[in-house]
Amino acid sequence: MLDGEENLIKRAIRGEASAFGSLYDYYQPRIYRFVLIKVGRREEAEDLTHQVFLSAWQNVGGYKQLGFPFSSWLYKIARNQIADFYRGRREEVGLEKIDPQYLIAPASVQFETEEKFEIERVAAALRKLKPEYQDIVVIRFVEDLPVKEAAAILQKSEGAVKLLQYRAIKELRKLLS
Amino acid sequence: MDLLDLLKKLKSIEPDKEFSLNSRNLILNTPPKVRVSFLGILLKNLELGAALALAGLLIFLTIGGFSAWKFFSPLELANFDATSIRAEAQAIDIQIKLANLNYIESTSTLVGGESTKMAASGPGNGTSPAGGALGGEKNNGNSSSSISIDEVLEKLSQ
Question: Domain ranges in chain A?
Answer: 1-91
> Are B32 and A36 within 8 A, CB to CB?
no
Contact at 8 Å (CB) between A125 and A138? no
Q: Burial-class residue A114 by CB neighbours within 10 Å (0-12, 13-18, 19+).
A: exposed
CATH 3.30.565.40 assigned to A1-91: no
What type of residue sits at position B80? F
Size of interface A-B (CB pairs under 8 A): 97
pLDDT given for residue B12 in this prediction: 85
For residue B18, the distance in angstroms to the closest alpha carbon of chain A comes to: 11
Round to whole Å and give the CA distance between A166 and A144: 15
Q: Phi, psi at residue B8, to the nearest 5°? A: -65, -30
* pLDDT per residue as tens digits for the range A69-111: 889 999 999 999 999 998 876 555 544 455 545 544 444 455 6
What type of residue sits at position B10? L
> Are A105 and B14 within 8 A, CB to CB?
yes
What type of residue sits at position B8? K
What confidence tier does B99 reach under pLDDT thresholds 50, 70, 90?
low
Contacts of B4 in chain A (CB under 8 A): 141, 169
Q: What's the distance, CA B135 to chain centroid?
A: 53
State whether the Cα torsion B44-B45-B46-B50 is positive or negative.
positive
Q: Within 10 A of B50 (CB to CB), how many other CB atoms are there?
A: 10
pLDDT given for residue B69 in this prediction: 64
- pLDDT over 70 at B46, yes or no: yes
Between residues B35 and A152, the one the model is more confident about: A152
Give the CA angle between residues A6, B11, A4 to the nearest 5°. Answer: 15
> Are A103 and B11 within 8 A, CB to CB?
no
Contact at 8 Å (CB) between B5 and A32? no
* pLDDT per residue as tens digits for the range A21-41: 999 999 999 999 999 998 888
- The ipTM, to two decimals, is 0.80
Question: Domain ranges in chain B?
Answer: 37-78, 81-158
Q: Is B3 on the interface with A (CB under 8 A)?
A: yes
Round to whole Å and give the CA distance between B61 and B38: 34
What type of residue sits at position A142? V
Q: Phi, psi at residue A70, to the nearest 5°? A: -60, -30
What type of residue sits at position A112? E
